[in-house]
Amino acid sequence: MSVTSRRWAALLALSAVSLAACSAPAPAPPPAAASPVAASERADFEQLERAFGARLGVYAVDTATGREVAFRADERFAYASTHKVFSAGGVLQRTPVAELDRTVTYGQQDLVTNSPVTEKHVATGLPLRAVMDATLRYSDNTGGNLLFRELGGPEGLNAVFRGIGDTTSHADRIEPELNDTFPGDLRDTSTPRALAVSLRAFALGDALPEDKRKILVDMMRANTTSDQNIRAGVPGWAVADKTGTAAYGTRNDIGVVWPPNRAPIVISVLTDRAEKDAKIDNKLLADATAAAIKALP
């Protein structure tokens, strides 16, 4: 087992609770399993669920102290576009930095919805670095699929997950089909804990060498889709994150936040609702982020 895999397994075991893999989202979910948060903090998250009519999953870890906050941290949620962090990370793992300027070509038939950058460059293609930038900063879906292509499809992303010891996250489809989720669907899902631990491996750990890690984190710091989510919960802090949106009101954000003069905190906030066409509410993610940070000393 690699050093990264051992670290991932150790982190995952710190406060593991029973996995609720097939839990269906509902406006008033059953009580969350016991987790390493005080009763008052757990009550804060439960109140957010009631107020927003959503299921909420949160996992945060202070990388300096190891202190954790977890609420429904081992329940499965559709990961939506948060996968793009790991697709980009996997491509960086296998690609020398000098080759990031290689042009990636694609056709009109490859374009899918929500592709604001790639749709403008069909004739010329884009450097691989620009494809990653579009995917992480603008959540460009065609860019996400081009990264899937670099990895060999969802199976390649699964190999990336397994390579860092993540046996929980599971990739099955590409964009935009992976967002067509429903209650109990295990495809294209993960847990708040697993996504946060995997993000930590890529953004702060040894899943990437320092130069490639900087490329990934810099792109995530420049994310344009998250001002109302994690960033709104920690105003004024540096944040590197990736959002995601899918059916059943799924709205997610995973990120690394840097408090002033402190070590970074890794946080994952995943949400969904009972109705397929339910609207998302970014304020739930912002409020959950603020509650999680408050719970960390």
7 in any annotated domain: yes
The CATH code of the domain that includes 7 is 3.40.710.10
User: Are 203 and 240 a contacting pair, CB within 8 Å?
Assistant: yes
Q: Which of 81, 198, 226, 268 is catalytic?
A: 81
pLDDT of residue 37: 64
138 in any annotated domain: no
pLDDT at 20 exceeding the cut of 60: no
185 in any annotated domain: yes
pLDDT at 57 exceeding the cut of 90: yes
Compute the distance between CA of residue 125 and CA of residue 41 in angstroms, rounded to an integer: 49
DSSP 128: H
Compute the distance between CA of residue 293 and CA of residue 277 in angstroms, rounded to an integer: 30
Radius of gyration of the CA atoms of the chain, in A: 18
Told to judge if 41 belongs to the known catalytic residues of this protein, a careful annotator would answer no
Q: Per-residue pLDDT averaged across 52-80, rounded?
A: 98
Closest CA to 254 of 208, 281, 277, 288: 288
User: In Å, how far are 89, 90, 141, 227 from 177, measured between CA atoms?
Assistant: 21, 21, 11, 26
Q: Which of 41, 150, 175, 268 is catalytic?
A: 175
Domain range spanning residue 213? Answer: 3-82+172-295
pLDDT grade, residue 6 (50/70/90)?
very low
Closest CA to 20 of 80, 74, 77, 56: 74
225 in any annotated domain: yes
Helices 83-94/141-151 angle, 10° precision: 40
- What's the whole-model pTM score? 0.88
pLDDT of residue 44: 96
Compute the distance between CA of residue 60 and CA of residue 71 in angstroms, rounded to an integer: 9
Q: Per-residue pLDDT averaged across 90-103, rounded?
A: 98
pLDDT per residue over 110-150, tens digit each? 999 999 999 999 999 999 999 999 999 999 999 999 999 99
pLDDT of residue 272: 98
What value does the mean pLDDT of the chain take?
Answer: 91
144 in any annotated domain: no
Compute the distance between CA of residue 102 and CA of residue 108 in angstroms, rounded to an integer: 20
pLDDT per residue over 139-192, tens digit each? 999 999 999 999 999 999 999 999 999 999 999 999 999 999 999 999 999 999
Higher-confidence position of 267 and 21: 267
- What domain count does the chain have? 1
Told to judge if 81 belongs to the known catalytic residues of this protein, a careful annotator would answer yes
Token couple for 281: 């509410």
pLDDT of residue 36: 55
pLDDT per residue over 203-245, tens digit each? 999 999 999 999 999 999 999 999 999 999 999 999 999 999 9
Compute the distance between CA of residue 243 and CA of residue 140 in angstroms, rounded to an integer: 12
120 in any annotated domain: no
Task: Give alpha helix (H) positions in 168-249.
Answer: 192-203, 210-221, 230-233
Rounded to whole angstroms, the maximal C-alpha distance in the chain is 57
pLDDT of residue 12: 43
Q: What is the percentage of the chain residues whose pLDDT exceeds 70?
A: 88
Total length of the chain = 297
290 in any annotated domain: yes
122 in any annotated domain: no
pLDDT per residue over 25-41, tens digit each? 444 454 544 445 678 78
CB count within 10 Å of CB 274 equals 17
